[in-house]
């Protein structure tokens, strides 16, 4: 169906979703399925708040960083209040932190969000808040380079599929198959009680997720032990490109604040960009992709994350041409870009979590990358498709790229935020 709401009404509906999911300083992705503060969801939600409440946008990010660990680590979930029905909850993670948190992280979009808040909105009165937030952002990026780049290639090695933000991607099938699930035990999922099981990860996938959590918990969430011995260690193309962009944005903020030492440190990370690009280029796939660092084998999946090379400013004339050709091929097979998995991949499922559906937030990053690289036609196409998906069926978690049918939860905060900040403009 096609929405009968006007652009102004869509904007108001998006604002009401953010207001309705606001829990006082932080926003839940969706009150029924995801009742806590999620790391990259929350950062991206700030972009939506900034269109009508700039102070609230800054507080969203500031609240997230209140849960930062002393070593700079920023968890992927902050359990600000209890919800006994959620699994895996704080007792499963047992991180020992106050407030309780998970023990893994998520894609580092926060610095890019803060730069946008600074560049595109009123700066008067926010410099002091930027100065307080900057060292926390720097510490988190430093943590990534210390604990998530053991080979010093400028890549981000994910220690859990959930860390990538693209939880159930086909990229993780091979690496996760080596994870021992024999001692996982019984558990009750929450996601399948609220959503169609055909849209969610399988039980075997979930067993693997929990086995990795149990390894981290047994280590006392010692990041060095996890770096050295975790049963799942995958150089993730998505997180790598997002960190490269975030480092560029953090560098710009360092210049705003006149922090020369930070500028030098950040630039040393950015200098690894070409090395990361070479490492993640899969010759057999002829695309950027993730790589299992335990076996050294590429993951062999062309996903929406593959197109983030433009966002990360990893440029190579011939590879750029090939990636644009992939975009052209895929666009001829789907109604709306960008599916989370190549529709020519036999594992493609247009409604299952991260195995086909389109995500507005990833489209925002991909579209922004196309625009940064000067591929204006593709930037416009991705933005238009995102707008049409949301306008057609509402503010859902994800969308079927073939039919535009909604997938996952409704009244989704970051989809509403992307409408306000980008797609609906």
Show the tokens assigned to 282.
Answer: 């899969």
- Alpha-carbon distance of 393 to 5, in angstroms, equals 11
Q: Indicate the SS3 state at residue 273.
A: helix
Sequential DSSP letters for 372-385: HTT-HHHHHHHHHH
- Alpha-carbon distance of 129 to 132, in angstroms, equals 5
Parallel/antiparallel/unpaired status of strands 234-235 and 157-158? antiparallel
CA atoms lying within 13 Å on the CB side of residue 93: 21
Cβ atoms of residues 239 and 156 within 8 Å: yes
Under the phi-then-psi rule, with left for phi > 0, alpha for psi from -120 to 50, and beta for the rest, what region is 387? alpha
Residue 37's DSSP bridge partners are 78
Cβ atoms of residues 102 and 93 within 8 Å: yes
Q: Where in 49-125 does DSSP place strands (E)?
A: 77-78
Cβ atoms of residues 412 and 29 within 8 Å: yes
- Alpha-carbon distance of 118 to 149, in angstroms, equals 29
Under the phi-then-psi rule, with left for phi > 0, alpha for psi from -120 to 50, and beta for the rest, what region is 284? alpha
Catalytic residue at 328?
no
Q: CB neighbours of 253 closer than 8 A, spacing ≥ 6? A: 111, 114, 115, 118, 130, 134, 137
Residue 125, classified by CB atoms within 10 Å of its CB into exposed (0-12), middle (13-18) or buried (19+), is: exposed
Of 191, 259, 397, 411, catalytic = 397
Of 22, 83, 167, 313, catalytic = 167
Could you give the maximum distance between any two Cα atoms of the chain, in Å?
A: 57
Q: CB neighbours of 204 closer than 8 A, spacing ≥ 6? A: 181
Residue 101's DSSP bridge partners are 78
Catalytic residue at 191?
no
User: Which sequence positions are flagged as catalytic?
Assistant: 167, 397
């Amino acid at each position: 169906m096609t929405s009968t709401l006007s652009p102004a009404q869509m904007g108001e509906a998006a604002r009401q979703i953010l207001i309705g999911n606001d829990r006082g300083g932080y926003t839940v992705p969706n009150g029924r399925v995801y009742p806590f503060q999620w790391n990259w969801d929350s950062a991206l939600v700030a972009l939506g708040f900034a269109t009508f409440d700039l102070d609230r946008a800054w507080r969203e990010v500031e609240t997230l960083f209140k849960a930062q660990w002393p070593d700079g680590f920023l968890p992927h979930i902050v359990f600000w209040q209890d919800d006994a029905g959620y699994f895996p909850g704080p007792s499963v993670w047992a991180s020992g932190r106050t407030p309780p948190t998970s023990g893994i992280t998520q894609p580092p979009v926060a610095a890019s969000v803060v730069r946008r808040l600074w560049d595109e909105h009123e700066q008067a009165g926010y410099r002091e808040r930027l100065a307080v937030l900057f060292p926390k952002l720097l510490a988190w990026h430093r943590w990534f380079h210390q604990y998530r780049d053991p080979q010093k290639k400028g890549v981000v090695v994910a220690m859990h599929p959930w860390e990538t933000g693209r939880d159930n991607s086909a990229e993780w099938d091979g690496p996760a198959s080596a994870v021992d699930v024999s001692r996982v035990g019984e558990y009750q999922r929450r996601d399948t009680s609220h959503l169609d099981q055909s849209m969610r990860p399988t039980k075997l996938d979930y067993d693997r997720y929990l086995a990795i959590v149990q390894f981290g918990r047994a280590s006392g969430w010692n990041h060095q032990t996890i770096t050295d011995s975790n049963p799942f260690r995958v150089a993730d193309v998505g997180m790598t490109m997002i960190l490269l962009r975030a480092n560029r944005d953090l560098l710009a903020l360092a210049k705003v604040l006149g922090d020369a030492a930070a500028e030098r440190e950040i630039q040393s990370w950015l200098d690894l960009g070409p090395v990361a690009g070479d490492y993640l280029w899969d010759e057999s796939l002829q695309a950027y992709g993730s790589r299992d660092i335990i076996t050294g084998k590429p993951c062999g999946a062309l996903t929406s994350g593959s197109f983030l090379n433009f966002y990360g400013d990893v440029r190579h004339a011939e590879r750029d041409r090939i990636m644009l050709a992939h975009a052209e091929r895929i666009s001829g097979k789907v109604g709306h870009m960008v599916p989370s998995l190549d529709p020519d991949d036999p594992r493609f499922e247009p409604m299952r979590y991260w195995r086909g559906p389109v995500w507005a937030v990833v489209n925002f990053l991909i579209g922004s990358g196309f625009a940064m690289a000067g591929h204006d036609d593709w930037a416009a196409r991705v933005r238009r498709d995102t707008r049409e998906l949301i306008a057609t069926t509402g503010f859902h978690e994800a969308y079927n790229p073939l039919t535009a049918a909604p997938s996952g939860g409704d009244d989704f905060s970051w989809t509403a935020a992307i409408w306000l900040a980008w797609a609906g403009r």
